[in-house]
Amino acid sequence: MFDIGFFEILLIGIISLLILGPKRLPGFLTKLEEYVKLIRSKGTSISQEIKQEIYSEDFENKEKNKDD
């Protein structure tokens, strides 16, 4: 999706180590992991709701066409 290679990940790691320092970096990564999991679960939930709505609309349209 983002096409991030090893060099980019290494560069991000070095910059975050310089900005946060070695003491705060593990805590930051833990929080970041929690937020990523939360965003993924919300995205999955929204995706399932959209699919359910599309399926119910298709089902309703088929039922209307049957009755006609």
Q: Is residue 63 part of a domain?
A: yes
> Does the CA dihedral 5-8-14-15 come out positive or negative?
negative
Number of folded domains that form the chain: 1
Residue 54 CB coordination number (10 Å): 10
* Measured distance CA(32)–CA(20) in Å, rounded: 13
Domain assignment of residue 6, yes or no:
no
**Could you tell me the residue range of the domain that residue 50 belongs to?**
24-68
- Does the residue 46 lie in any domain? yes
pTM: 0.61
Tens digit of pLDDT for each residue in 1-32? 568 899 998 999 999 999 999 999 999 999 99
